[in-house]
Amino acid sequence: MQSLPSPNQLSSSSSSSYTQMADETYKFGPYTIYQKESFYSTDLSYAFVNLRPVLPGHVLVCPRREVKRFIDLTTEEATDLWISAHKIGKQLENYHNASSLTFTIQDGPHAGQSVPHVHIHILPRKDGDFVNNDEIYDAIDAKEKELKKKLDLDKERKDRSMEERAQEAAEYRKFSF
């Protein structure tokens, strides 16, 4: 695991690249995210495909530094996180022939956050993907609760395989960020 910079060492010149990610792994709360399931990186943020997507193209964007709450991010980290989400969202919407995007953060355990690491969910949206538009939040919450059960009880999961996630990430690495 590569050591992450302290907030004082963070640079505002965050450039995205995949090549710098070649041998990296990232921490996502108690999980390790491997290079082959990630597809975007800056000096301050990274993105990876979802283990349990709610919709096709459902990805996560995180700060490199393990931070539990959004309010604990530095201004540079918060800015980079949203700029990254903007770039990724634009590419995902086009790739998945979507007409809209849902960006969401569950900030803290009482907001439904099950992995104690800030992350933005990005979901490409299409007409009719949910009967009631706000059901997307229930679906995200249900997936987070499933993950929490895994953390708490180590129940059997219905995860996508590493090969499936790696294949999806490889497709997204082709994007022009």
pTM, rounded to two decimals: 0.76
pLDDT at 124 over 70: yes
pLDDT band at 143 (very low <50, low <70, confident <90, very high): low
Does 7 reside within a domain?
A: no
With H, G, I as helix, E, B as strand and everything else as coil, classify residue 63. Answer: strand
Per-residue pLDDT at 1? 36
Choose among 99, 94, 119: nearest CA to 108: 119
Residue 160 sits in a domain whose CATH number is 3.30.428.10
Q: Containing domain of residue 168, as a range? A: 20-172
pLDDT tens for residues 39-67? 999 999 999 999 999 899 999 999 999 99
Q: Which of 58, 117, 119, 121 is catalytic?
A: 119
Question: What total of structural domains would you count in the chain?
Answer: 1
Contact 16/43 with Cβ under 8 angstroms? no
**In this structure, is residue 31 part of a structural domain?**
yes
Whether 119 is catalytic is yes
pLDDT tens digits for range 162-175: 999 999 999 999 99
CB-based contact 60:46 (threshold 8 Å)? no
Flag whether 136 is in a domain: yes
SS (H, E, C) 103-168: EECCCCHHHCCCCCCCCEEEEEECCCCCCCCCHHHHHHHHHHHHHHHHHHHCCCCCCCCHHHHHHH
| Average pLDDT estimate for 144-161 | 57
Element (H, E) at 59: strand 59-63
Residue 103 in any domain: the answer is yes
